[in-house]
Amino acid sequence: MAKNKNDNPHWFQKLLFLIVIPGTLIIVLVGVVLTIFGVVNPIDQIKSTVSSIPVVSDWVHEDEKEEESEPRLAEKDEQIAHLEYELQQAESTIEDLQIELAQYEELEALSNENQDAGDIDTQEELSRIANVYENMNPRRAAEIMGELPNEEILMHMSEMNDDSRSDILQNMDPNRAAEITTLLAN
């Protein structure tokens, strides 16, 4: 009996060394060679085979869902970038409007002072108001001047340079601009 154990190697060892290890090695080498030459893509074949197994097919589909979500993430990133750009534009517009509002409020305060005190008494105040109008957006200045009497518009415009005067007149009502131009010519 002792002789039988030492003489006969286990059948499992024979199976492992003669069939399983060489078979696995041959399968791996054939797969590598086929992949290198581009004949067969074993990964896709394994995925298709595995997807037919009920429990494992859920795992394979989850991988596909992750791949499908990548384009959606890229699309969302583009939307975020676009919205951030729009936000920056809106913020710059708000800043511009706040500057114009401050100029308008300063002009309104000066106009209210002038209406309370009557006509503008000094040349310095007239120049300062004309400077405010020159620094404003011509369209806004034309809107504000449209509310003033022709005599006050004439006083303010007489202190302005020609470029500012023409920009403001261009944005005024044509009939009113014609009246003011006639007064300026005289």
Res. 8 pLDDT band, cuts 50 70 90 = low
- Phi, psi of 7, rounded to the nearest 5 degrees: -80, -40
pLDDT given for residue 14 in this prediction: 80
pLDDT given for residue 9 in this prediction: 61
Res. 26 pLDDT band, cuts 50 70 90 = very high
Q: What is the average pLDDT score of the chain?
A: 81
Tokens of 135: 């620094």
Tokens of 3: 């002789």
Give pLDDT tens digits for 58-85: 666 545 555 566 778 888 899 999 999 9
Give pLDDT tens digits for 156-185: 888 888 898 999 999 999 999 899 889 888
pLDDT given for residue 31 in this prediction: 82
Higher pLDDT, 59 or 53: 53
Secondary structure of residue 131 in the 3-state scheme: helix
Tell whether 161 is covered by a domain. yes
Tell whether 28 is covered by a domain. no
Give pLDDT tens digits for 97-139: 999 999 888 888 877 776 655 554 567 888 888 888 888 899 9
Nearest to 49 by CA among 19, 172, 41: 41
Tell whether 62 is covered by a domain. no
Tell whether 77 is covered by a domain. no
pLDDT given for residue 79 in this prediction: 93
Tell whether 175 is covered by a domain. yes
Tell whether 52 is covered by a domain. no
**For the chain, what is the domain count?**
1
Which residue spans within the chain are E strands per DSSP?
Answer: none
Looking at the predicted structure, is the pLDDT value of residue 1 above 60? Answer: no
pLDDT given for residue 84 in this prediction: 96
Report the CATH number at residue 145.
1.25.60.10
pLDDT given for residue 115 in this prediction: 65
**Spatial separation of the C-alpha atoms in residues 156 and 153, rounded to whole Å:** 5
SS (H, E, C) 158-174: HCCCHHHHHHHHHCCCH
Tell whether 67 is covered by a domain. no
**Where in the sequence is the domain holding 166, given as residue range(s)?**
102-107+119-186
Tell whether 155 is covered by a domain. yes
**Spatial separation of the C-alpha atoms in residues 50 and 59, rounded to whole Å:** 9
Tell me if 103 sits within 8 A of 144, measured CB to CB: no
